[in-house]
Structures are given as structure tokens and as C-alpha cells.
Structure 1
Amino acid sequence: MNVAKEIKKENYLETKKLLDLALIEIKKELEKISDKFVSKDYLDAKLEALEYKINEKISNLKRELKEEIASVKSELKEKIDENTNEIKNIKKDIKYYAFLIIALMIILQPKVIEFISTIFSVSK
């Protein structure tokens, strides 16, 4: 019986030794795998940093867009002011020429009446 106990003990020690070696190999493999994966806290921190960068970029783009809109508004206002001044000048010119035409018609009234009556008499 002692021989059987001795064989069982040797088998046990050999099995324990093999299990210990297997455990060491498993730990090594787990270390390799854990190097490839990162903790949730690390990922959360990375995500937060990316969100901050994205928000910063969005803020910069909004600011640039507001500046561009303000620039376009000021350019449009300048163009509108220029066109308004041109329209005012054209209105002044029209009034001036209308006044001149009326003045010429008053001065040349007898000749104009004679010209118009000549046109109508010729056409009859």
C-alpha cells in the first residue's frame, strides 16, 4: 500500500508541478492580453479629451463663422449705401432734366405748338 501511496504522491506532485507551470503560462498570456486592452478609466479619459477637442474645434468654427457673417454684412451694407447714393444722384439728375425740359417747353411753347400742329396737319 505504501507503494500505491507513493505513486499517488508522485502523481500529485507531478500534477501540481504541471499545474503550476500551466498557471505561470496563463499569467504570461494574460499579461500579454492586458497590454493590448486598456482600462475603462483610461478610455473614459481619452473620450473626454476627444470631446473637449471636438467642442473646442466647434467653438472655433462658430467664432470664425460669426466673423465671416459680420464681414459679409458690413460689405453688403457698404454696397447698399453705395447703391442708395447712386439712386439719389439719379433721382436728382432726373429732376434736373425734367425741370430743364419743362423750362424749355415754356420758353419754346409757341414753336412747340406750331410743330405739333404741323405734324397733325401733314398727317391728314
Structure 2
Amino acid sequence: MKNLKYILGLLLCVVAFTACEEEIGTPNVDSRDFVEVREAKATVSHDGQYYVLTEYEHPDTIAKYNLDMRVFIIDRAEDAAKIEALDGTEMVQFTGFGQKTDYRPAGTDVNKKHYMLLLTRVVAWTEK
């Protein structure tokens, strides 16, 4: 009888462990959804809600290297204040971290990848 209790107890533990097993599936967040940007050049615009930085490179360079230019959206108030502090400059050089988003501001190329950006550095860009 004592052995029967142990066997039933072990079977109950096995059933409990299998019932509590995590479901196998795809994660909601993937490392490919994030990008680090360093010293990138961009044009600045405003869609009425957010500042939008559209990556800029000379058209010949884009064609030569087949570059994918991206669109960065400034959604944090702290980062928007950094852009406003540049007194209406049209070109910036920036560094930051972006997370892919489905938000597409009006007037941007919907075929480009769009990212919400956490700015770590932004300055007015002057051509050298």
C-alpha cells in the first residue's frame, strides 16, 4: 500500500509538471526589431504630432552601395525638446537606438523601415 501511494504521488507530480509547461511559440520581441544608429545624417520634419528624422545620404552613394534609408520618429518629449533646441535646423546628425514600429507619419515613404527613436545625441549638421 505504501508503494502504491509513492507511485500515485510520482504520477501526480509528472502530470502537474506537464500541465504547467510553458507554451512553445514565437516571442513578441525580436532583436531584429531594434537598431543602433551612430552619427547618421537626417532631414528633420514634423507630422503635426511627432518630429520625423528621415535618414539622408547623397543619391549617388545610395545607388552605389544599395543602401536602405530609414525613417526615425521622435515620440519622447525629452527627445523632441532636443530637436526644438536646434532652432529649426533642417539637417541633423544624430546617435540613438530605434525600435521598429508600424506607425507611418504622413509624407514619409511607406516602403522604408520606420523606427521609434531614443536619442542619445543630436546636433545641427553642417556639410564639411
**What band does the TM-score fall into relative to the shorter chain?**
under 0.3
Structure of higher CA gyration radius: 1
Q: Could you tell me the TM-score, scaled by structure 1's length?
A: 0.26
Return the structure number with greater strand share.
2
More helix by share: 1
TM-score, normalised on structure 2?
Answer: 0.25
